[in-house]
Structure 1
Amino acid sequence: MSDVSRPTTWPRPGSRTTQLLVGPANFAGQGRGWAAAARRLPDVDALSFQVATSTTLAEPADFVLDRVAFDDPGLARARESWVTSFTHVLVEAGRPVTGTQHGLDAAGDLAFLEDARVRVGMVAHGTDVRRPDRHLDAEPDSPFARMADDTVRLRQRHADRMAGLMTRRDWSFVSTPDLLLDVPTARWLPVVVDPARWSPQPWEPAPAGRPPRVVHVPSHRQVKGTALIEPAVLELARRGLIDYTPLHDVAWAEMPAVIASADIVLDQFALGGYGVAAVEAMASGRAVVGHVRPDVRAHVQAVTGRVLPVVQSRAADVADVLMELVQDRDRWLAVARQGAEFASCVHDGRLSAEVLRTFLLSRSTESLPPAPRP
């Protein structure tokens, strides 16, 4: 694990022609994953960094910077010199990458970096650009419908600002295709999971006489729609039709074992897309159930040539969908098998590298070409 640093020296880019810095969020280890994907490309070096917000870092970036050092005015020149030593920067979640001397979000950094002749891209993770007004129109179970008005207004202002910044840029990406609703000019940059950590685990569906083990580990209960599905899921468990125990605050190191213990993984039922948690479950060879909008499924198929193997269910339908899946062993096995194949082909970093190729290797700001297929 990377150490949290208050450096006097900074990790330097490599000797290759193109040097990419990804940061500073690294949510769910994605900054690190995208940097690793970029290193698949010829003559590209890449480094990810994040600003530590606690002393316990689940999936650390290649370089972890102490918050005090990131905000220290005395280190402003050193931070700027370090960031501008890279040829390319991929800014995550609209956050500043040189510290806070240019402002509390990425807007000031964008101008500074471009003046320094650094090519800059932006990538959205989710809440940074998800606009409540658009999401409420698209999703009847939107979590914004259950948030306080003041919270929704605050998120609307922030998302409008970040999405506006991204829309005006030549190089904008989103980590999940549902976010194209908010930044339609962006390109989908698939999340990356470590195949060594999430390779398919030995598994057979629950035998007769044992109820199937159903797992739901929400990173944020309100956003994932946990309250919308749990009464129905708990009722199935009470009737002995499934084995279900609510889980929360599972340590990062324990997640592979938790997923491996499951027969079926419930993802999210309020956002309309799929993200890291669903991919990790698929990569582990487990059947995944969640709500993914038709436009998101269509985009995934158009880009990859593959059908997204997440079993569709809205929150209100979760009990029926679970029972149908449990009672159809052949489908259950097929979904799990297709999920593992999909994760290995779409989310192991190869496709993400191809999506980044034009940004990193071209020398112009032409429009992005059609997305490659894995």
Structure 2
Amino acid sequence: MKRIIITVVIIAAAFAGIMFLLNKNKAKNEEETAVVAIQNAAVAVRAEVVDLKEVNAEYITNGVFAPKQEVKLSAEASGKVIRVLVSEGSYVKAGQTLAVINGDKQTVDVSNAQAVYNNAKAEVARFESAFATGGVTKQQLDQVKLQLENARNNLKSSQIKASDVNVTASFSGVVNKRNIEPGSYVSPGNELFEIVNVSTLKLKISVDEKNISQVKLGQSIKVQSPVLPEKTFTGKVSFIAPKADASLNFPVELEIQNNASNDLRAGMYGTAYFGADQRVNLLVIPRNAFVGSVSSNQVFAIEGGKAVLKEVVSGRSFGDYIEIVSGLEQGTQVITSGQINLLNGTPVEIIK
């Protein structure tokens, strides 16, 4: 019994020693953690000074050239194609015949309609003579006149259908696609040709809300294409959207007269230059100083060693720099890196 008591006492003493050591180590760890927390209370950030910078005030935006006129010609009559008169790449004039569809049925319809019309016309002449002598009533004369009018309308309709066998160009341009060959059978609605006019093109661009006030209808704009770096074109503003899209950009269209060799082609990228190439001094900050994105209009400034969230009004974009209209003064330090770790009033330490 005495041996059991001694064993229990030894185990209890060992357990008490272990608990003492654990509590001592815990206190030491908490003390070290507190020291580290004190040392790391200031968040490391990078910063730049708000200052005047010489920038190019010219506004540049990119877009894609599109043909001013583009149409897909479809068949308006059923039948077999007997002749195709143009190839892809051919230049065609307005009203030029591009293909001919077999019009035998339409020709027969016109002949029948013409015969009915001739007969109705003769019938009206006979009834008018009879009416003059009292041989027919006014009602009978009106009835045959109505039949003549119906016959005239049917003749016009059949003549129009007969003319539909000739597929013609609606404007001058280039055949971009040809989807038929002689012997093909077509029905109304089948796409036959695609015609584009690239003598005049449209450049579709987007202008942000900060610069849309510079754009006016009829304004002449310098236009270039990266694939034709040595050539310059002039575009005129032909459309300004009255409403911005979801990105607060306004769709704008420029009309550009192509050169004699039609070097500009639909689908090419184009660049529009708004305003003269002029250097001006503006108050700017780096783009990466904004919290999240430029549209947030929020930046962290450093005041008394702390990060202070500021609301600003941003202006035009100049590459990596954004114009500041109001909200910051020259000489203020703004944080450009480390914003994700900051709250309003967080102590900060500037690192190089």
TM bucket (normalised to shorter chain) is under 0.3
Q: TM-score, normalised by structure 1?
A: 0.21
Q: Which has the higher strand share?
A: 2
Q: TM-score, normalised by structure 2?
A: 0.22
Q: Which has the higher helix share?
A: 1
The structure, 1 or 2, with the larger RCO (C-alpha pairs under 8 Å, 6+ apart) is 2
